[in-house]
Amino acid sequence: MTIEKIDAKLCDGCGVCVNSCPTDVIRMDEQRHKAVIRYPQECNNCDYCELDCPRHAIYVSPERHSPLVVGW
Amino acid sequence: MPRVVETDVLVLGGGVAGCSAAITARDQGLSVTLVDKAYVGKSGTTAAAGMRFSVFNPEFGDNFDDTMRMITEGSGYLNDRVWTEICIKESWQAYLTMAGWGVEFPVEDQREGVFVPKNKVDSPFASARIIRRGVPPPLRRQCEEIGVTIMDRITVTDLLKSNGRVVGAVGFQLTDLEPIVFRAKATVICTGSWSLRTVGAETHNMTGDGQAMAYRAGAELTGGDMHSSHHGSAEYPSWRGGRAARAIYRRFVDAKGEVIPYGFEVGPAVDLAFHRGRGPIYHDLDAATDDEIERMWQRQRNSDDMESRRIGFDPRKRGKHMISGGQDCVVGAGIWPAGTDCSTTISGLFAAGDSLSIRSAAFGGLPSGNIMGVRAGNGAVKYATEVGMLPVADEELAGALKTMLEPVQRKGGFSPRWVTQLLLNTMVPYYVLLIQRGDRLQAALTMVEFFRDHFVPGLYATDPHELRLAHETKNMVLGAELCLKACLFRTETRGSHYREDYPGQKDPEWLAWIKEREDNGQMKLWKQPVPREWWPPRLKAEQGGTR
């Protein structure tokens, strides 16, 4: 149901996906200069990051998946 | 001291309504700051728009009375007729305005030109094609070109008031928690609809923040009693494709293969079939004509082709596709407009787009969003010019900042993600808001009030991302409460409001809107009657002289 991977080998750190994500799932790893999946729980499967990535480095899975969120 | 941003007009939310308001105000020479919690140009429902742009033009043979009747009957006679007329008649200007701002309306069929003929679409009007996700970027470019100050990735949490007027807002940076104080002569809320984070709906960003802020500031709201049923794929619940196909071709069959008849809306009929134990329910493409299949295929190619190909969905392969049970994803409560300038019941506060409730009057989301945005922009300019910048009391500002940062300053508490999950489990199943009954609504309300009283005051965040979640969760809980109370209040069945314990439409008793407002810490609900001249013609005749 969620963003599955950002291929670090393909990612050139352009940051387009960070702005594409409406729910702040993706952040930049400033040291490595790569986009990383920081908050996967908030992915709403809109596919915008995958559609916008100029390097085709992102994959959003369509598989059925229901996250189990526990209190603590 | 926190950072202070001073601006003539503050616009919250950067979709079609927000950008339209910002451009309109900036064009008249005022300073405008446009704030979005994500990124202007990619945010909100506007980013997901990818079908068509409805236009009304008598030169195409469109008939005003027919159009008005269709919208009025579809809304169960609850649409605001003044706004319906505005939205229909100004849609052509909205098209010209948006085209002038650089929004592309592509020509796909040279014989047809820009406009899809009405016999080719599932509406009785011509409409312009738009490019999926192609609408917001030109709006952002236009804002930038004319000097609107855009501030992305800022979560605004509350409005600031002074002597009963809205004079700005407070928010924080998503990257570093930096608090920001916005001081504005006029504020425009364009933060979109009030939805719940339902699986399969890409509306997880629309948590009703603007409506919640307006409610806390004392504005009158309305709605929450009408619903939007959402069916997805049972096999791939989070896949958003197939929606176009279901909109074009509406044959649904139950487990025994019996066809489910439906009225104006597909949702309630299918939800009732589930409720009566007739599931699973299938979208039956085997019985479609070749022409319908072709239209579904064309629509898919222009909208969700990538996602559809990924799971192997192609309408040309036909088949019966199991759909998921009804879920409600939109709370629906919006800010009550005090005038056609998109003012609200609080001075200094304007609203447009899905945040403003014009009560089912809209004629296409994008054109109506633009129309309201332009009107809100003009209203804000007039107000800002007349009133000027008002001071904010120190206590008011300190209180808003304290409330904003509390979740991240606590040493522990409740996870916003967990509370959101509990809220969804309570609200989303079809038997709460889609097929309603007083006892079930009350049971859900009991839980929501518990979340409000016990979890919300203790929401805990460890970083800016979670702080945003905490405020969104708080706003969703408020939205759920407004919605459940409005549903309990409307003791009849009308439109998408279906009560098992109150079957049938009650006219003229419930030819009324439900208004909601905070009153001394309590949620107050009351009826606002629909003007008599807007009643159904037959009822007016029956009741003639009994006034």
- The answer to whether residue A64 scores a pLDDT higher than 80 is no
Mean pLDDT of chain B: 91
Cβ–Cβ below 8 Å for A22 and B197:
no
- The answer to whether residue B523 scores a pLDDT higher than 90 is yes
Looking at residue A66, its pLDDT comes to 59
Q: Hey, which of B25-34, B188-197, B538-547 has the most confident mean pLDDT?
A: B25-34
Question: Quick check: A62 contacting B, CB < 8 Å?
Answer: yes
Nearest-Cα distance to chain A for B101, in Å, is 22
For chain A, percent helix, then strand, then coil, each to nearest 5?
20, 20, 60
Top-confidence residue, B302 or B69 = B69
- Averaged pLDDT, B80-93: 96
Nearest-Cα distance to chain B for A11, in Å, is 20
Tell me the Cα Rg of chain B.
23
- Return the SS3 of B387: helix
- Averaged pLDDT, B417-433: 92
From the list B204, B307, B468, the residue facing A47 with the nearest CB is: B307
Top-confidence residue, B10 or A44 = B10
Share of chain B above pLDDT 90, in %: 67
Nearest-Cα distance to chain B for A54, in Å, is 15
CA distances to A33, B93, B241 from A4, rounded to whole Å, are: 19, 43, 19
Per-residue pLDDT band at B365 (split at 50, 70, 90): confident
Q: For A62-71, B200-209, B248-257, which range has the lowest pLDDT when averaged over its residues? A: A62-71
Top-confidence residue, B361 or B238 = B361
Looking at residue B295, its pLDDT comes to 84
Select from B207, B238, B468 the residue whose CB has the most chain A CBs within 10 Å, as the one to mutate to test that interface: B238
Nearest-Cα distance to chain B for A8, in Å, is 22
Nearest-Cα distance to chain A for B419, in Å, is 8
Per-residue pLDDT band at B122 (split at 50, 70, 90): low
Looking at residue B547, its pLDDT comes to 46
Question: Quick check: A41 contacting B, CB < 8 Å?
Answer: yes
- Contact residues, chain B, for A47 at CB < 8 Å: 240, 306-307
Cβ–Cβ below 8 Å for B240 and A46:
yes
- Averaged pLDDT, B268-293: 91
What's the token pair of residue B108? 């796909």
- Averaged pLDDT, B493-520: 94
Cβ–Cβ below 8 Å for B38 and A24:
yes
Cβ–Cβ below 8 Å for A62 and B47:
no
Compute φ and ψ for B343, nearest 5 degrees. Answer: -70, 165
For chain B, percent helix, then strand, then coil, each to nearest 5?
40, 20, 40
Cβ–Cβ below 8 Å for B414 and A71:
yes
pTM higher than 0.90: yes
- Averaged pLDDT, B436-448: 98
From the list B204, B238, B240, the residue facing A23 with the nearest CB is: B204
The residue of chain B nearest to residue A28, with distances taken between CA atoms, is: B175
The rounded distance, in Å, linking the Cα atoms of B347 and B308 is: 47
Looking at residue A72, its pLDDT comes to 65
Q: Of B126, B80, B89, B130, nearest to B108 (Cα)?
A: B130
ipTM for this prediction:
0.94
The rounded distance, in Å, linking the Cα atoms of A54 and B336 is: 43
Nearest-Cα distance to chain B for A45, in Å, is 7
Q: For A58-67, B426-435, B455-464, which range has the lowest pLDDT when averaged over its residues? A: A58-67
Q: Of B188, B185, B190, B191, nearest to B162 (Cα)?
A: B185
- CATH label, A3-60, candidates 3.40.640.10, 3.30.70.20, 3.40.630.30, 3.40.50.920: 3.30.70.20
Q: For B106-110, B232-236, B503-507, which range has the lowest pLDDT when averaged over its residues? A: B106-110
Strand order in the sheet with B320-323: B252-253, B281-284, B320-323
- Contact residues, chain A, for B307 at CB < 8 Å: 47, 62
User: Under CATH, which number does the domain B407-529 receive?
Assistant: 1.20.58.100
Residue-wise pLDDT for B459-486, tens only, equals 999 999 999 999 999 999 999 999 999 9
From the list A39, A64, A69, the residue facing B421 with the nearest CB is: A69
DSSP B414: B
Question: Quick check: A4 contacting B, CB < 8 Å?
Answer: no
Domain boundaries, chain A: 3-60
Decide if B357 contacts B17 (C-beta within 8 A): no
Looking at residue B106, its pLDDT comes to 85
From the list A1, A24, A42, the residue facing B174 with the nearest CB is: A24
What's the token pair of residue A55? 């390097």
Cβ–Cβ below 8 Å for B240 and A64:
no
Looking at residue B265, its pLDDT comes to 61
- The answer to whether residue A68 scores a pLDDT higher than 80 is no
Instruction: Say whether the peptide bond before residue B280 is cis (omega within 30 degrees of 0).
Output: yes
Question: Quick check: A72 contacting B, CB < 8 Å?
Answer: yes
The rounded distance, in Å, linking the Cα atoms of B128 and B364 is: 11
No. of helices (H) and no. of strands (E), chain A:
2, 4
Residue-wise pLDDT for A4-25, tens only, equals 999 999 999 999 999 999 999 9
- The answer to whether residue B247 scores a pLDDT higher than 90 is no
Looking at residue B540, its pLDDT comes to 83
Looking at residue B119, its pLDDT comes to 67
- Averaged pLDDT, B382-388: 96
The residue of chain A nearest to residue B199, with distances taken between CA atoms, is: A44
- Contact residues, chain B, for A21 at CB < 8 Å: 38
Cβ–Cβ below 8 Å for A62 and B238:
yes
Looking at residue B331, its pLDDT comes to 67
CA distances to B222, B228, B489, B495, B497 from B502, rounded to whole Å, are: 21, 19, 11, 13, 10
Per-residue pLDDT band at B120 (split at 50, 70, 90): low
- Contact residues, chain A, for B470 at CB < 8 Å: none
Cross-strand partners of B4 = B181
The rounded distance, in Å, linking the Cα atoms of B445 and A49 is: 37
Share of chain A above pLDDT 70, in %: 89
Per-residue pLDDT band at B74 (split at 50, 70, 90): confident
Looking at residue B361, its pLDDT comes to 83
Question: Terminal CA-to-CA distance of chain B, rounded, Å?
Answer: 60
Compute φ and ψ for B88, nearest 5 degrees. Answer: -70, -55
- The answer to whether residue B150 scores a pLDDT higher than 60 is yes
- Averaged pLDDT, B375-398: 96
Nearest-Cα distance to chain B for A66, in Å, is 9
Top-confidence residue, B481 or B51 = B481
Q: Hey, which of B72-86, B227-241, B294-308 has the most confident mean pLDDT?
A: B72-86
Q: Which residues of B touch A (CB under 8 A)?
A: 38-39, 41-44, 47-48, 133, 152-153, 174, 197, 199-205, 235-240, 306-307, 310-311, 414-415, 417-418, 420-421, 465, 468-469
Q: Count A/B contacts: CB-CB distance under 8 Å.
A: 81
The rounded distance, in Å, linking the Cα atoms of B288 and B355 is: 38
Cβ–Cβ below 8 Å for B465 and A1:
no
Strands A58-60 and B221-222: unpaired
Looking at residue B45, its pLDDT comes to 85
